[in-house]
Structure 1
Amino acid sequence: MSFNTTETIQRLWESFLREQLAALPPEERQQYEQQFEDRFGDLLKKAANGEERDAFLDLIGFGGKGPVEFGDLSYPYIQPDFDDSVVPSQLHAAAELYYIYQHERMKIFQVVDVLLRLFRLGRMRIQRGPGARGLYLLEKWKPLRYTQRDRMIAYRRAFNYGTAQAPAGAIVNQNFHRQLVGFMVAVSQYFRDLLIGEVIRGGQLIEQRPFGSVATVQRIGLDLRYALDRCTYGNIFSLTMETGHYLKSVLQLLDAPDIKKAFDANTKWDVVEIVSNRYLGGIAEPSQRAKMAESGRRILQFIADNDFKTAIDPILFQSTIRPMGAHAEAWIAAYRMTPEGRGFSGVTPALRNVLGVQAAAGAVV
C-alpha cells in the first residue's frame, strides 16, 4: 500500500473513530477504545507487510518499476520490539538471586559454616539425629560449589551490591538499587494517588475512574527489566539454581529438632539468631531482610513477566498491579528499618529524585 494511501487511511480512521465513539453510550466507550486502537495497529502492519516488499529498491530506483515517486512508495512501518527483547529465564533468575542475596545478608550461609565447624570439632551436642546426618552429608559432599566469592561477584554484577571486584569486561548493573526503590515508590504512589482520587471524585462510576501515573510505573519497570537482562548472562542462572536448592536444604536443616535442641531454640530463626550473636558478631536484621526477600522477589517476578504495554486499559492495569501494591509498601516499610534505608526520604520525595524532578524551593515534601 502506497504512502499516500496509508496517510489517507490514517486521517479517515481518526474521523471514523471519533464518529463511532460519539455514537456509543458513555458507559460502553471504554470497552471499545482499546479494540479500535489494536485494530488500527493491525491495519498499519498489514499494509506495510503486504505485496510491497521491495520498497527500498523502488526508493533508490533499482526496483522493477524504476524510479518511483515518494507518494507511491509503500508505508515504512517498523514493528517496535525493543521492550520485548529480553530473556525471561535471566529475569526470573535475577528475582531468585535477590531472594538469595537477602538471606546472605541474614548470615544464613555463615551460620551453616559455623554449624559445620562446631559439628566437626565436637562442640555441638548432636550425634545421630536428622540434623547431625544433614551436617555430615553437607560436609561429605559439599553440594554448593559456588563459593562466597562467586556469590559476591554475582550480586555485584546483577545488583551492584557489595564490594567484590567485578570481572574485567563484565557489565555491572550500576543503577539497580535506585531503579528498584524507584519502582517500589512508583507503585506505592500510584495506589496512594488512586485512593485520593476515589475519595475526592466519588460518583457512580468510582471504580472506573483511576487516578495515578501508570506511565511512571511502566517506565521504571521497563528500565529495571532491561538493565537486569543485560547484566545477568553467564553463570547467573546456574549459580542461582544451585545456590537456591542449597539454601532450601540448609533452611530445612536448621529446622531439625536436634539442632534446635542443641541451641535451646524453638524455630530455625532462633538458631540463626543465637549462632549469629554467639559466633558472628551479631544478628543482621532477619525480620526486615525476610520481608524484603519475599516482596522484592515477587516484584521482580512481576517485572519479568509483564510487558508493560503502553496503551493498556487503565482499569486492566489497576487490576493487574493491585497485588503488587501491598508488596511494594511492605518492602519500603522493611527497607526503612535497615542501615542502608534509614535515610529514605519518603515515597514522594524518593519518586521525585528517581524521575529527576527537583522540589520547589521552600516546598514541604
Structure 2
Amino acid sequence: MSLGTAEALQRLLSQWKRDVLANVPPEQRAELQKQIEARADELITRASDGSTGSLFSDLMGLGKGGAPSFDDVSKPVLVQDFDESVIQTQLHAAAELYYIYQHERMKVFQVAGALLRLFHDGRMRIQRGPGARALYLLEKHHPLRYKPRDRQLAYRRAFNYGALAAPPGAVVFRNFHREFVAFVAALAQYFRDLLIGEVIRGSQTLNERPFASQATIQRLGTDMRWQLDRATYGNILALTLEVGEYLKTILDALESPDIKKAFDANTKWDVIEVVSRRYLGGAAEISQRSKMADAGRLLLNFVADNPFKTRDFRDFQTEVAPLGPVAEEWIAAYRMTPEGRAFRGVTPTLRRTLGIPSAAAAL
C-alpha cells in the first residue's frame, strides 16, 4: 500500500469512527471505540502486507520504472514488540529466586547446616524417627552444582543483593530494589486512590476513571521485565530448580515431629528461630521475610505474565485487582526489616522514585 493510499485510508477511517461514535449512547461509546480502533489497525496492517509495495531499491531509483514519487512508495508498518521481547521462563525463575533469597535471609540454609552438624556429632537426641531419616537423606538432596557462593552470585546478578561482587562482564540489575519498591508502592497507591474514589462517589460500578494512574504501574512493570530478562540469563533457571528442590526438602525435614520435639518447638518456624538463636548468633526477621517471600513471588510472577499493554482502565483494574492486598502485605512486612525502616511511606517513596518534588521541597 502506497504512502498516499495509506494516508487517505487513515483519514477515511478516522472520519468513519467520528460519524459512528456521534450516534452512540455515552455508556456504550468507550467499548465501541476500542473495537473500532482495533478493527482499523487490523485493516491497515492487512492492507500494508500486500505484495504491491515498493522495495528499498525502488525507493533509490534502481527499479524498472526509475525513482517513484513519494506518494507511490510503499509505507512500512513498524510493529512495537518491545514488551514481548522477553523470555518468560527467566522471569519466573527470578520470582522463584526472590523467594529463595528471602529464605536465605531467614537463615534456613544455615539452620540445615547446623542441624546436620548436631546430628553427626550426636548432640541432638534423635535417632530412629522421621527427622533422623530426613537429616540422613538431606545430604543426598544437597545441591551438587550450586553452592552458597553460586546463590550469592545469583542474588547479586538478578537483584543486586548481597556482599559478593558480580563476575566481570556479568549484567547486573543494579536498580532492582528501588524499582521493585516503587512498583509495589504504585500498586498500593492505585488501590488506595481507587478506594477513596469509591467512597466519594458512593459506588463501585460507576463508569468513570478512578482517582489513580495505571501508567506508573505499567511503566515500572515493563522496565522490570526487561531488566530482569537481561540479568537472569545463564544458570539462573537451573539454579532455582536445584536450590528450590533443596529448600523444599529442608522445610519438609524441619516439620518432622522428632526434630520439633528436640527443640521444644511447635512448628518448623520455631525450629528455625531456636537453632538460629542458639547456634547462629541470633534469629532473623522470620515473620516478615516469610511474608515478603510469598508476596514478592506473586508480584514478580505477575510482572512475568503481564505485558502491560492494557489501556482500558476497567480491564487494567480487573487484571491487577488481586494484587492490591498483596502489595500492602509486602509493604507492611518490609517496613519491619532493617532495610525497610527508612521507607517513608507509599506516596513519598513514589514521588522520590518518579522524580516529583514534594510539597515542602516545592515551597
Q: TM-score range by the shorter chain?
A: over 0.9
Matches for 1:1-365 after TM superposition, within 5 Å? 1-140=1-140, 142-202=142-202, 205-206=205-206, 208-310=208-310, 312-361=311-360
Query: Number of paired residues?
Result: 363
State the Cα deviation string for residues 183-213 of structure 1 (Å, max 9, x = none). Answer: 1011111111112222334479525543311
TM-score (norm 2): 0.96
- Looking at structure 2, the residues matched to 117 and 132 of structure 1 have their Cα atoms a distance apart, in angstroms, of 12
- Looking at structure 2, the residues matched to 204 and 147 of structure 1 have their Cα atoms a distance apart, in angstroms, of 51
Shift in alpha-carbon separation, 1:140–1:194, aligned structure 2, 3 A: closer
Contact 2:299 2:323 (C-alpha < 8 Å) held by counterparts: yes
Tell me the amino acid that sits aligned with residue 336 of structure 1: R
TM-score (norm 1): 0.95
Contact 1:103 1:290 (C-alpha < 8 Å) held by counterparts: yes
- Looking at structure 2, the residues matched to 295 and 140 of structure 1 have their Cα atoms a distance apart, in angstroms, of 31
- Looking at structure 1, the residues matched to 226 and 127 of structure 2 have their Cα atoms a distance apart, in angstroms, of 50
Shift in alpha-carbon separation, 1:293–1:207, aligned structure 2, 3 A: farther
Structure 2 gap ranges (5+):
none
Per the TM alignment, residue 49 of structure 1 is displaced from its structure 2 partner at its CA by 1.6
Shift in alpha-carbon separation, 1:33–1:144, aligned structure 2, 3 A: farther
Per the TM alignment, residue 147 of structure 1 is displaced from its structure 2 partner at its CA by 1.0
Per the TM alignment, residue 157 of structure 1 is displaced from its structure 2 partner at its CA by 0.2
Contact 1:130 1:258 (C-alpha < 8 Å) held by counterparts: yes
Per the TM alignment, residue 266 of structure 1 is displaced from its structure 2 partner at its CA by 0.6
Contact 2:142 2:246 (C-alpha < 8 Å) held by counterparts: no
- Looking at structure 2, the residues matched to 80 and 174 of structure 1 have their Cα atoms a distance apart, in angstroms, of 26
Tell me the amino acid that sits aligned with residue 254 of structure 2: L
- Give me the CA root mean square deviation: 1.7
Contact 2:152 2:162 (C-alpha < 8 Å) held by counterparts: yes
Q: Give secondary structure in 1 for the equivalent of 2:342.
A: coil
Contact 1:185 1:348 (C-alpha < 8 Å) held by counterparts: yes
- Looking at structure 2, the residues matched to 205 and 336 of structure 1 have their Cα atoms a distance apart, in angstroms, of 34
Shift in alpha-carbon separation, 1:17–1:140, aligned structure 2, 3 A: closer
Task: Give me the identity figure in percent.
Answer: 61
Contact 1:182 1:351 (C-alpha < 8 Å) held by counterparts: yes
Tell me the amino acid that sits aligned with residue 328 of structure 1: A
